Amino acid sequence: MTTQKFRDDSRGLLAKARTELDAGDLRQASEKGWGAAALMLKAIAERRHWDHERHRHFSIAAGRLRSELGNRDVVRLYNVAESLHANFYEDYLSAGEIDEGLNDVGALLDLLEPIAQG
């Protein structure tokens, strides 16, 4: 898959997450929010020849980018995406919390997309 496809799919998943949230499917909204963050990280990892096949690789990539950019928001926003992923399995977040989480994922994508573009 190309970095462009990862980026496009990332944005598409965030839009689908909003649709799922509006429809009341909180678990699917959460998982699509997580997927949006993961795919943007995959775009960067692919471009930089970093590993991105396993879940832990996303955490590693977020940490590397935080260090590189000197921006703590990378990991903070990534952790919000992780909580959305956990919500898919545990179903503990309210619609309002998921809405805020999706806003944070959008902020993460805005922060990372220029890096993913190269």
Tell me the per-residue pLDDT of 23-43, one tens digit each, with 9 for 90 and over.
999 999 999 999 999 999 999
pLDDT at 1: 64
Indicate which CATH number applies to the domain containing 57: 1.20.120.330
Structural domain of residue 69, as residue ranges?
A: 3-117
What is the pTM (predicted TM-score) of this model? 0.95
* CA–CA dist 95, 110 (Å, integer): 23
Q: How many domains does the chain have?
A: 1
Q: Note the pLDDT of residue 72.
A: 96
- Kindly report the number of other CB atoms within 10 A of residue 90's CB atom: 11
Q: What average pLDDT does range 75-80 have in this prediction?
A: 98
